[in-house]
Amino acid sequence: MSADINIQGVNKSFGFNKVLDSVDLSVPAGSVCVILGPSGSGKSTLLRCINHLERIDAGTIRVGDELIGYRQEGNRLFELQEYKIARQRTSIGMVFQHFNLFPHWTVLQNLIEAPIRVKRESKAVVMERAHRLLKRVGLAERANAWPRELSGGQQQRVAIARALAMEPDVMLFDEPTSALDPELVGEVLEVMRSLAKSGMTMVVVTHEIGFAREVADQIIFMDGGVIVEAGSAETVLDAPRHSRTKAFLSTVL
């Protein structure tokens, strides 16, 4: 199952620094949106706002029918209690630059802990799903390994499997290959390609232009907290209209 994402009028500031400025974005269910932009453009902050890891100052974010982080009464928004936000996050998988695996747990334990503890699922059901997901990311034989015994690429594939173990409706990726050695990037991107083909709603912050061209239904270019340009890969990558987009692409293509 996948869900759409609708972002309307989102603003976010850190002190006097406005990081997101009236951002509007719609990601249809089952589609892949890739966000490009220089460092400090607001890409990662936008991603973190989608699952309420960052509070927004104005606007709304909806995943499917749910207003994320808030309840609405008339024209006013009230932040949800933390346990309700945690419940919402179970439907929003996120993979970070760094793998964030628990070092004192095996690969399998990293996958099964949250579904059992947070979603109260049976251990037998979760174990079956975890083994299936490890096979899907090419690590079936590493279920009992410790994170320190894995390469960076393998750890990131485990992190993807761990996010999928919660059976989310959408997946967010925050530069998932930026911390990897170049020779390990391909194995992670291959898992993400497979996930995109399966119909999962995905929002991906990345500098991997070839990957973006191959899988993105929509490419967003951000700079200075605003969406400068948006469209298909052919439109944004091959025929950008904005001078800022052209300048950025000239440095990465």
Would the pLDDT of 227 be above 80?
yes
Q: Express as a percent the part of the chain with pLDDT over 70.
A: 100
Judged by phi (left if over 0) then psi (alpha if -120 to 50, else beta), residue 74 lies in: left
The CATH number of the structural domain formed by 5-250 is 3.40.50.300
- Enclosing H/E stretch for 211: helix 209-215
Question: 167-220: per-residue pLDDT in tens?
Answer: 999 999 999 999 899 889 999 999 999 999 999 999 999 999 999 999 999 999
Per-residue pLDDT tens digits for 14-67: 999 999 999 999 999 999 999 999 999 999 999 999 999 999 999 999 999 999
Q: What is the b/e burial string over 161-172, where b = at least 16 CB atoms within 10 angstroms of the residue's CB?
A: bbbbbbebbbbb
- In angstroms, the CA 216 to CA 223 distance is 19
pLDDT at position 209 is 93
pLDDT at 236: 96
Output the pLDDT for position 248.
Answer: 94
Measured distance CA(171)–CA(8) in Å, rounded: 19
Mean pLDDT (the chain, rounded): 95
Q: How much is the pTM?
A: 0.94
Per residue in 56-70, pLDDT (tens digit) is 999 999 999 999 999
